[in-house]
């Protein structure tokens, strides 16, 4: 592992009686992935001695705070819920209430009806994608002065916005593939001009994707202009900013896990062997045929370079707690490119993030415990900041 161990949280903090609210589900395409991750996290927290408070968020934005939120969401995944006794008022924008409804206003579950929420010591948001790892819930928790696991508001938002993250990586001198950022409005208004501009600046094959999304949703490979038009149309369904980038020759997909606050450490790299042309949503979650090689078969200097770049990418977004940094390596030249950074990666027991730490000797339960301790550490540091003169 790379980096200083000085950031490791103290093992002296008592676990027994510490109440951890685990938030899962949410309003994103990765709702079901979140459920799988959270089930494992809650089990590990329970075995570590924490008191676990499950908090579910439905696909329409309703907060489930009583009964068994995991069972309710698992039973009714991606369906509209009508579980009135166990449901708080919806988040703003929830689509299952009439427009302008008086019920459509509450930001958080009502603590008067669920008093245990007022006693939560720390939140572990196991939310993937928009409204989870994009800075939105992080901002809410900071306003409520509640410690939480993972990156802060700015880091979460920057990592989710891949166009913004690319600017930060460029400022840090990190190598990236050649790419363009296209506004959806420009694509819809001047399709021929956009394609001409892309073809002038970049070379096929290309990838097009939405700037703000996860799990490879809306990503397509394009070998010519007709496929590029299809790829941009698909990406434009999900975001107002679209990214087009050159493909890497015989690309190897490599990942490094990062853990820590001001002095983070990097794991050994792992490699993904996609079952398809690239690691798309189906390859990640549906066909179960992609392979993971941990640790990746690399030279020592390549391992060191990946770890160094992972830490640099983490620093570029001002990361804290955890992140997974994804790389592409040219299979012909060996050149390494930073692809993206994920501030709340998959957390099932077979997900790359925890498996990379297991390869470093840090078990899944110990990893989850360490993340909670890092949350307390970062919150204590944040409370040192003055907000008034």
Find out whether 375 and 147 touch, Cβ atoms under 8 Å.
Answer: yes
Query: CATH: 1.10.760.10, 3.90.1170.50, 3.40.50.20, 3.30.428.10. Which one for 19-149?
Result: 3.40.50.20
- Between CA 123 and CA 378 the distance in angstroms is 13
Residue 228, classed as helix, strand or coil, is helix
CATH number corresponding to 179-246? 3.30.1490.20
Q: Taking the domains of the chain in order of start, what are their residue ranges?
A: 19-149, 160-174+249-381, 179-246
Find out whether 128 and 34 touch, Cβ atoms under 8 Å.
Answer: yes
- pLDDT, tens digit (0-9, with 9 covering 90-100), for 65-91: 888 999 999 886 645 444 444 444 444
Query: Which helix (DSSP H) or strand (DSSP E) does residue 166 occupy?
Result: helix 162-171
Q: What is the DSSP string of 326-347?
A: EEEE-TTT--EEEEEEESS---
Spell out the per-residue pLDDT of the chain, length 389, in tens. Answer: 664 343 443 444 567 789 999 999 998 878 888 999 999 999 999 999 999 999 999 988 889 988 899 999 988 664 544 444 444 444 444 444 333 333 332 345 544 445 455 689 999 999 998 888 999 999 999 999 999 999 999 999 999 999 999 999 999 999 999 999 999 999 999 999 999 999 999 999 999 999 987 656 789 999 999 999 999 999 999 999 999 999 999 999 999 999 999 999 999 999 999 765 654 444 444 445 568 999 999 999 999 999 999 999 999 999 999 999 999 999 999 999 999 999 999 998 889 999 999 999 999 999 999 999 999 999 999 989 888 88
Cβ atoms within 10 Å, residue 178: 12
Rg (alpha carbons) of the chain, rounded to whole number: 21
Query: CATH: 3.50.50.60, 1.10.260.40, 3.30.470.20, 2.60.40.2380. Which one for 160-174+249-381?
Result: 3.30.470.20
pLDDT of res. 389: 82
Contacting residues for 388 by C-beta, under 8 A, at least 6 apart:
none
pLDDT of res. 253: 96
């Amino acid at each position: 592992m790379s980096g200083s161990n000085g950031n490791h949280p103290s093992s002296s903090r008592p676990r027994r009686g510490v109440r951890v609210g685990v938030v899962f589900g949410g309003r994103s395409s990765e709702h079901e992935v979140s459920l799988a991750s959270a089930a494992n996290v809650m089990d590990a927290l329970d075995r570590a001695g924490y008191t676990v408070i499950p908090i579910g968020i439905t696909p329409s934005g309703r907060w489930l705070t009583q009964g068994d939120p995991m069972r309710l969401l698992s039973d009714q995944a991606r369906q509209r819920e009508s579980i009135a006794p166990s449901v708080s008022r919806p988040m703003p924008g929830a689509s299952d209430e009439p427009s302008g409804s008086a019920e459509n206003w509450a930001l958080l579950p009502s603590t008067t009806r669920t008093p245990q929420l007022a006693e939560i010591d720390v939140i572990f948001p196991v939310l993937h994608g928009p409204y989870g790892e994009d800075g939105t819930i992080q901002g809410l928790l900071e306003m409520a002065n509640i410690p939480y696991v993972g990156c802060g508001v700015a880091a979460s938002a920057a990592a989710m916005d891949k166009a913004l993250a690319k600017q930060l990586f460029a400022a840090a001198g990190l190598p990236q593939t050649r790419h363009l950022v296209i506004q959806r409005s420009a694509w819809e208004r001047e399709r021929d001009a956009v394609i001409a501009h892309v073809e002038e600046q970049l070379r096929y094959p290309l990838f097009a994707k939405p700037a703000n999304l996860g799990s490879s949703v809306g990503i397509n490979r394009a070998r010519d202009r007709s496929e590029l038009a299809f790829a941009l149309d698909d990406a434009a369904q999900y975001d107002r900013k679209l990214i087009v980038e050159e493909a890497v020759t015989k690309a190897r997909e490599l990942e490094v896990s990062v853990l820590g606050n001001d002095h983070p450490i990097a794991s050994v790299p792992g490699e993904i062997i996609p079952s398809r042309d690239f690691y798309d949503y189906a390859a990640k979650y549906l066909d179960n045929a992609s392979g993971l090689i941990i640790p990746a078969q690399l030279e020592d200097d390549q391992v060191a370079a990946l770890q160094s770049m992972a830490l640099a990418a983490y620093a570029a977004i001002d990361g804290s707690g955890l992140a997974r940094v994804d790389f592409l390596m040219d299979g012909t030249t060996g050149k390494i490119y930073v692809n993206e950074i994920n501030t709340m990666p998959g957390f099932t027991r077979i997900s790359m993030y925890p498996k990379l730490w297991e390869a470093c000797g840090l078990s899944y339960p110990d990893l989850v415990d360490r993340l909670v301790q890092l949350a307390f550490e970062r919150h204590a540091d944040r409370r040192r900041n003055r907000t008034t003169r």
